[in-house]
Amino acid sequence: MNLMAAVREWGRFVQFSQTAWALPFGLAAMVVAARDQAGWPGLRVFGLVLIAMVSARTCAVAFNQIVDREHDRLNPRTAGRSLPAGRVTAVEAWGVCAAGAIGLVAASYFLNRICFFLSPVALLVICSYSLAKRWTDYTHLVLGVAMAMAPLGAWLAVRGTLGISVVVLALAVVFWHVGFDIMDSLQDYEFDRRHGLRSLVVAWGPRNALRAAFLAHMLMWGGLAAFGLISRFRVAYVAGMIVMLATLLLEHWLAWRRRIQWAHGAFSRLHALISAVFLIVTVAEVVFPWFRVSR
């Protein structure tokens, strides 16, 4: 395997393309936390926050693929993934998982004391999703809480304490991922039901689960609106909220009108769009003075 092929394979293993879903929320939290510095906390903090978030996600994805490898091997949709297909060994996967965990703890150590002390808690939370589907129907909520670690951690990295605005943002991220993970689980409804894996899709049925996903996404949108109000954002943020609402409605229209396997690729792109729009309008509100509320 040549170098580029190896890079692509490892990128697929850690699902690097999906980093765009959660990373922007962490970066946006960092920008707002550094508002008194025009949204820039300094190159050192920015680099360490980036390393911490990427490391945490790498650890979580690797751990998830390790504990799910037997189910993935049986599931036609996931049988071609790196680990069940044998392109990555279990030892290599554990090495990536350990490297991600070490990267998170090391970056946290150099950020500040509170981040360092909480890094083991963050690791426990982000890895718990992989086991949750064995014991609870609310596995989507566990994933949402894990993803909410990104904005909370980034805020703590800059300020050392939490504020009401980032807590509201974290709740919005929870509901965002609850909604998406429900929709993602629709693909594996029959497989999960036959193999005893739990989710709201299995417990409530696809149609009721889709309704729950829509409610979660509306709560997410409301949380982002509240975050903007608390942060005293104006024109750019309102425009972004309109775009995000339209994107969410399109996503759910596709979920109801199209086969879920066909629509899943569209869901991923629309999710990435929402993250990107949120980051762009948040940065615009903080960095550019003509968007700010006068003080």
Among residues of the chain, what percentage have pLDDT more than 90? 52
What the chain holds in terms of domains, given with CATH numbers, is 10-291 (1.10.357.140)
How far apart CA 23 and CA 13 sit, in angstroms, is 18
CB neighbour list of residue 190: distance below 8 Å, 6 or more residues apart: none
Residue scoring higher pLDDT (107 or 13) = 107
Range ranked top by mean pLDDT from 85-94, 144-153, 181-190: 144-153
How much is the pLDDT for 184?
84
**pLDDT tier at 116 (50, 70, 90 boundaries)?**
very high
Phi, psi of 148 (to 5 degrees): -70, -10
The secondary structure of 231-294 as a DSSP string is: TT--HHHHHHHHHHHHHHHHHHHHHHHS-HHHHHHHHHHHHHHHHHHHHHHHHHHHH-GGGSPP
pTM: predicted TM-score of the whole model, two decimal places:
0.90
- What are the tens digits of pLDDT across the range 24-80? 999 999 999 998 777 789 999 999 999 999 999 999 988 988 998 888 888 888 888
How many other CB atoms sit within 10 Å of the CB of residue 45?
20
Would the pLDDT of 265 be above 70? no
Distance of alpha carbon 221 from alpha carbon 82, whole angstroms:
35
Average the pLDDT over 170-195 and give the result: 89
Higher-confidence residue: 252 or 223? 223
Reported as a single tens digit per residue, the pLDDT across 269-295 is 888 889 999 999 999 999 886 655 544
